Amino acid sequence: MIVKPLKPPAPLRQLDVLMQRLPAVHPAYPKLEASYYKRRAGYRGEQSLTFIFNRFFQSFHILQDLRLPAPTGGHFQIDAMIVAPPRLFLLEAKNFKGTIQIDSPHGLLTRRIDGATEQFPNPLLQLESTSEQLQTWAKRMGLPQLDVHHLAVFTHPDHVLQRPEGALLLRPDEISWAIKRIMKGDTPTGRARHDASRLWCKALIDAHTPMPPPPLEQWGLAREQVPGGVWCAGCKMLTARWVNRRWRCEKCDQIAAKGHVTALEDFFALSSEPFTNAEIQSFLFLPQAKAVTRFLQEAGCVRLEKPRSHLYISPAADA
């Protein structure tokens, strides 16, 4: 079963908000659009694994999109992990279209598409590096030792995979077969294996830190340059205004009590930097600041301690 499900990553959510709120003629828009479609393709590739996990791996514990502290500082990421003591499976999802060729288990990945040839690092080598960091982290955490296996999964429906025999370079429908082959002969589930799964899953979930949105400066933007406003659910435009303690669309007169909720989620997606009450008032186009504190409390925002008590951080930044 999936104990840590996949969620849209913060960089993708940030791009989604920017593309919705910025005009298509904005100078940054082409770069935003290209990055958005690239990230969305990768996310959909990881999403496609969820069906496989739910269908074939109900007896194991599965964690998706992990971001853990690296031994040397910073973080390392794991697309998916299957905890099946005495084994642990690390999965790297690659959403490549075209003809994918890997001549040896450690050779470069070559992709041919539309007459062009590109080369990429071998995902199995990437997984070896990830595995080393994971095992160092697990040792520090005092977790039971498990045998780690690496599986690279090519998720795009329109690809041809040419690979060396026996290499764990797989299509999604081969994951179950590959894992069953590796686990053949393992002892049935017992108390020790159950305890190992529980310890690993708890430690992984506790250590996971969601990726924050990247700095807006990389797009040549600042938070105050992103158009504010509250969406009208009817018009799908930023035309709702706060009138008599509710949101009324200036265009179609549709009324909503909680229109600010989506707008605040958009604001939080732009940056993890602290913000002021006045910034929220400006972003929501509120004529008075009276309602802002209540909105932020309802959203789960945290007010910083003195001398920065005029600042708040979003629930995601506090996670």
* Predicted pLDDT at 31: 97
The backbone torsions φ and ψ at residue 204, rounded to the nearest 5 degrees and listed phi first, read -65, -45
Integer Cα distance of 105 and 60 in angstroms: 27
Domain regions of the chain by residue span: 2-207, 228-318
Does the pTM surpass 0.85? The reply is yes
Integer Cα distance of 180 and 101 in angstroms: 25
Integer Cα distance of 263 and 146 in angstroms: 45
Per-residue pLDDT of the chain (319 residues; tens, 9 = 90+): 999 999 999 999 999 999 999 999 999 999 999 999 999 999 999 999 998 999 888 889 999 999 999 988 999 999 999 999 999 999 999 999 999 999 887 889 999 999 999 999 999 999 999 999 999 999 999 999 999 999 999 999 999 999 988 889 999 999 999 999 999 877 766 777 889 999 999 999 999 999 999 999 999 999 999 999 999 999 999 999 999 999 999 999 999 999 999 999 999 999 999 999 999 999 999 988 889 999 999 999 999 988 887 899 998 754 5
* Predicted pLDDT at 189: 63
Integer Cα distance of 186 and 188 in angstroms: 7
Residue with token string 């004529």 = 287
* Predicted pLDDT at 257: 94
Indicate the Cα dihedral angle 124, 128, 81, 51, nearest 10°: 0
* Predicted pLDDT at 319: 53
Burial 124-147 (b: 16+ CB within 10 A, else e): bbbbeebbebbbebbeeeebeebe
Residue with token string 């309602």 = 291
Integer Cα distance of 142 and 186 in angstroms: 23
- Sign for the CA dihedral angle at 292, 293, 297, 303 comes to positive
- Between 29-56 and 175-183, two packed helices, what is the crossing angle to 10 degrees? 50
* Predicted pLDDT at 124: 92
Burial of 294 (0-12, 13-18, 19+ CB in 10 A): exposed
